[in-house]
Structure 1
Amino acid sequence: MRTHYCGQLNAQTIGQEVTLCGWAHRRRDHGGVIFIDLRDRQGLAQVVCDPDRPEMFKIAETIRNEYCLKITGKVRARPAGSTNPNIASGEVEILCHEIEVLNPSITPPFQLDDENLSETVRLTNRVLDLRRPQMQKNMQLRYRTAMAFRRYLDQAGFIDIETPMLTKSTPEGARDYLVPSRVNDGQFFALPQSPQLFKQLLMIAGFDRYYQIVKCFRDEDLRADRQPEFTQVDIETSFLNESEIISIMEDLIRTVFKEAIGADLPNPFPRLPYAEAMRRYGSDKPDLRVTLELTEITDAVKDVPFKVFANVANSENGRVAALRVPGGASMTRGEIDGYTEFVGIYGAKGLAYIKVNDVHQPNETGLQSPIVKNLTETALTTILTRTGAQSGDLIFFCADKTKVVNDALGALRVKLGHEKGFVNGNAWEPLWVIDFPMFEYDEEDKRWVACHHPFTSPKDEHVDLLATDPGKCLAKAYDLAVNGWELGGGSVRIHRADVQEQVFKALGIGEEEARLKFGFLLDALKYGAPPHGGLAFGLDRIATMMAGAESIRDVIAFPKTQRAQCLLTNAPSEVDEKQLRELHIRLRNVKTDAKAEAKA
């Protein structure tokens, strides 16, 4: 039906007769000559309709926005001074010979070039929203990214194997999406949070190198970078150690960024132990574009009269840290109060500060702050030395539980860095975070929980700690962060049944529960399971970052809202009583009328 896409027209096509198909982006009547901007997935083309072809011109007069059109005409150069360098076909236009309305359109609820649309309007009218040029670009970028992953993995000997969508519920992390079984009364499948166990089984089965671009599901609270259903590039390989897996995955992500957007990532990526990342940046996915760093001062304030610092510094899980802001002494009290309010989001009770007016006088003469009089000169000297403070700087302080301090100052570091220009100017800053702890202690449940998942292997030298001191046990785990976003995470897996059983025991999972939930894995590990490991990249997040979008909803064709709803189809929705009966389900806490209750 068509000979070219709109975006394929250029100076080399001048003189050719072409047929285009697309939508009327805009129609303009210029004193007897009608211009139609025709749009397809490749871009825009300007169509000129002259009145010397009366039949064609009469149709052109009826065209309105979003009419689906087929246009035949001759490519010619645009008149001098009317070229448009912002579009691919900006040097040329099409003199229209024939025009056919393939389908008219009712008036759209919004203009497709309106950049101030609410997300609710966009998601409710997602089909039209997807026609917008920016969304077309985003979806094509996502496709190029996925294909770059496939090409690399195919060439590296990985094979694409599908794993089940209906599987066993093993609620160890986020909540599962449950699917009732009609033919097995009272029993449920779960939609997979990850193909984790199946890809391990594929390694035991001898497939050596596996990958899959796969949908996963988690019933959890949503944010800009979360969706109830998301897509990951799932990868697993055998007979490689932790460092070798990282090297392959690093080369993969460098190749993907180069092919998809032409970006050159550094070679090699830096590697940073988890403990150091938390100490310096307060985050296990630090944005290395920001040049600010946290400074540890817990030991320096244990004996100061300022009890807010001293009490925390002497507590078992307390941290006192500082964040130096070069030139920050010029900040107003209003700005400081604003940053204090910001860290409150992360649970911080306050944000102390010192303005360094004269770094050579570590006392109330050279330092301006309500807390200076309650800090010893020794402590102040240590703080100035460790932070590298200079006259004219400002130092923020946070004292609380370690997690609160890390979350609060880590977020403040990024906010200040980008707002005040403390960035290094690099477009992309990738980083491997390694040597994660195996476990973290859940204060509410009073037990150890897995930092990654319970199938992550401990460091060889830490296996004995599983029984004696789980909190000191480090894992063969690694995450890839780029510009403050976690793009992927993985680990070397446990390939011996006895070690897996020790990990379950450390997690408080008894033998009976382990057999019930993971017996199939424990049995498979006993049949000569090879050493294996892998990683999963978040395709949605990678595409979002490459596109410079604010939310992953901008790179997903039909996303859910933060309430896990699809505004286009009005899902989730109620189902009728017959469907519920077939599934052996009766709803609780739902208002029903007397007739519905009688049917039940």
Structure 2
Amino acid sequence: MRSHYCGQVSEALLGQDVQLCGWAHRRRDHGGVIFIDLRDREGLVQVVIDPDTAEAFAAAERVRSEFVLRVSGRVRPRPEGTENPNLVSGKIEVLGRALEILNRAETPPFQMDEEEISEEIRLRYRYLDLRRPVMQERLRLRARVISYFRRYLDAQGFMDIETPMLTKATPEGARDYLVPSRTHAGSFFALPQSPQLFKQLLMMAGFDRYYQVVRCFRDEDLRADRQPEFTQLDIETSFLDENDITGLMETMIRGVFAEVLGVQLPDPFPRLPYAEAMGRYGSDKPDLRIPMELTELTEVMKGESFKVFSEAANAPRGRVAALKVPGGGERLSRKQIDDYTAFVARYGARGLAYIKVNAVAQGREGLQSPIVKNLSDAALAAIIERTGAVDGDLVFFGADRRKIVDDALGALRLKVGQDLGLVQGDWAPLWVVDFPMFEWDEGENRWMAMHHPFTSPRDGLESVRDNPEAAVARAYDMVLNGTEIGGGSIRIFRPEMQTEVFKLLGIDEEQARAKFGFLLDALKFGCPPHGGLAFGLDRLVMLMAGAKSIRDVMAFPKTQTAACLLTQAPAEVTEAQLRELNIRLRRTP
């Protein structure tokens, strides 16, 4: 039906006849000559219909927004002064000789070039939203990214192998989406949170380089960069160590940025140990484009009489830290400081102490804050020296359990940096390495795996058993602009180590056999050393596209409540379907 896409018609086709199909993006009647901007997935072309072609002109008079059209005509130059440099077709137009209305359209709920559209309307009419050029460009970018990854991994000897969608529920992760079994009454499948165990089994089977672009499912609370179903680029290898794996993946990410965006990322990526990342930035995924860092003050405050600081400094898992804001004393109003106080409260902080540095040379008298009178001269001098504060700066403080201080000041660092325009550069990738194996869950009163229970420790079995708090994992995360885009580790490949890790996590032998018996058995039959990682494709493409949410780079996403406004899913099912599955619903009041 067509010879070319609309967005591909250019000066190279001058004088040639073309057949085009697409949607009427805009129709204009200029003194008897009708102009139609015809749109398809590749872009726009201007079609001119004049009264000399009576049949085509009569059809063009009936055209309205989003009608589906087929046009035949000849490519000619646009009149001088009417060129559009923003379009591939901006120097030409198509003189229409025939126009066929393939289908009519009702007036759409929004225009395809409209920018301010409510998300609810966009998701309810997603098929229309996806016609918008910005959305088509984002999905084209996504396709190009995936295409590059496949070509790169194929060239490196990786095999694309599918793993099951119906599998077994496992602990130590987010909530599973459960699928009732009709043929096994009372039993349930689970949709995979990741192909983790299957890809490890593939290593045991001898497929030493595996990858898969795979859908994963997690029944968890949503936010801008999470969805109940999402896509991973899942990768696993055998006989490679951390440096080999991260080297391969780093080269791949540099390559996709160069090919798709024309961006040259640094070579090599910086590497930051977890402890250093938390100490300097309060985050294991720091945005290095923001130059501010946290300053450690815990030791300084241990002997102070100011209990807010000294009690936190002397607590077993306490921390006192400062965040210097360059020029903040002059740029931030009291109302803004109060707003930041409310902001850090979301992360458990009970307040936000601060000092305005008016004149360093005047000592105590040059500092402005309600807390200055509570601190010794030595403590104030240490704050100025360690933060490097100068006249006009402002210093925020966090004093509480380490996790609260890290979360609150880490988030405040990002917000202040963005609010004050302190972000430097476009792209800042890095590797965060040397994660703790375990973290203590005070609610559960037990150790939890920092990544997952199949991550290998750096040291031996005895070290993990005797001092789990100090155990370091052979884990690595790739971070880009403050977002974790990929994470992985070297895996446990000996059964005795896996059993010991399960014990530390409170999974006894009976539970381990019930949940992971197939894995423990497989480890006994010559399991090779192996490791891998998974990239969050949605997050990566979101960053590359400059979008604000992963919903903007997914064709059919869910809402914040995990609902599909387009199909009205989830939905009720019939009693007959429930009986067939041996399920009875219990209605909550």
Query: How many angstroms apart in 1 are the aligned matches of 2:319 and 2:200?
Result: 39
The equivalent residue for 1:596 is none
Describe the SS at the equivalent of 1:530: coil
- Tell me if structure 2 keeps the 8 A contact 1:462–1:474: no
The equivalent residue for 1:160 is 160
The equivalent residue for 2:422 is 422
The equivalent residue for 2:285 is 285
Give the letter aligned to residue 532 of structure 2. G
The equivalent residue for 2:75 is 75
Describe the SS at the equivalent of 2:169: coil
Q: How does 1:495-574 map to 2 (within 5 A)?
A: 495-574=493-572
How far off its partner does 1:457 sit? 0.1
TM-score (norm 1): 0.97
Query: How many angstroms apart in 2 are the aligned matches of 1:480 and 1:429?
Result: 11
Describe the SS at the equivalent of 1:277: helix
Q: How does 1:334-483 map to 2 (within 5 A)?
A: 334-363=335-364, 365-424=365-424, 426-459=425-458, 461-483=459-481
TM-score (norm 2): 0.99
- Tell me if structure 2 keeps the 8 A contact 1:37–1:44: yes
- Tell me if structure 2 keeps the 8 A contact 1:6–1:42: yes
Cα deviation 1:174-203 (Å, max 9, x = unaligned) = 000000000011001000000000000000
How far off its partner does 1:463 sit? 3.1
Cα deviation 1:423-462 (Å, max 9, x = unaligned) = 22x2110010000000001111100010100000000x25
Cα deviation 1:377-398 (Å, max 9, x = unaligned) = 1111111111011111110111
- Tell me if structure 2 keeps the 8 A contact 1:463–1:473: no
Query: How many angstroms apart in 1 are the aligned matches of 2:416 and 2:588?
Result: 48
The equivalent residue for 1:99 is 99
Describe the SS at the equivalent of 1:27: strand
Change in CA separation of 1:104 and 1:430 when aligned onto 2, cut-off 3 Å: same
How far off its partner does 1:10 sit? 1.4
Higher mean alpha-carbon deviation, 181-190 vs 252-261, is at: 252-261
The equivalent residue for 1:595 is none
Query: How many angstroms apart in 1 are the aligned matches of 2:190 and 2:326?
Result: 52
Describe the SS at the equivalent of 2:316: coil
Give the letter aligned to residue 541 of structure 2. A
Give the letter aligned to residue 388 of structure 2. G
**Structure 1 position 198 matched with structure 2 position 173:** no
**Structure 1 position 117 matched with structure 2 position 117:** yes
Describe the SS at the equivalent of 1:3: coil
Structure 1 residue aligned with 2:580, among 572, 582, 597?
Answer: 582
Query: How many angstroms apart in 1 are the aligned matches of 2:382 and 2:175?
Result: 47
How far off its partner does 1:311 sit? 1.1
How far off its partner does 1:237 sit? 0.2
How far off its partner does 1:590 sit? 5.6
Query: How many angstroms apart in 2 are the aligned matches of 1:353 and 1:109?
Result: 49
Describe the SS at the equivalent of 2:362: coil
Change in CA separation of 1:561 and 1:528 when aligned onto 2, cut-off 3 Å: same
Give the letter aligned to residue 94 of structure 1. V
Query: How many angstroms apart in 2 are the aligned matches of 1:505 and 1:494?
Result: 14
The equivalent residue for 1:239 is 239
Give the letter aligned to residue 294 of structure 1. L
How far off its partner does 1:253 sit? 1.0
The equivalent residue for 2:16 is 16
The equivalent residue for 2:263 is 263
Give the letter aligned to residue 357 of structure 2. V
Query: How many angstroms apart in 2 are the aligned matches of 1:119 and 1:423?
Result: 28
Give the letter aligned to residue 433 of structure 1. V
How far off its partner does 1:277 sit? 0.2
The equivalent residue for 1:487 is 485
Query: How many angstroms apart in 1 are the aligned matches of 2:119 and 2:423?
Result: 30
Q: Percent identity?
A: 65
Query: How many angstroms apart in 1 are the aligned matches of 2:179 and 2:75?
Result: 56
Query: How many angstroms apart in 1 are the aligned matches of 2:329 and 2:135?
Result: 44
Query: How many angstroms apart in 2 are the aligned matches of 1:53 and 1:257?
Result: 48
Give the letter aligned to residue 440 of structure 1. E
Describe the SS at the equivalent of 1:284: coil
Q: Which runs of 5+ in 2 are unaligned?
A: none
How many residues align? The count is 588
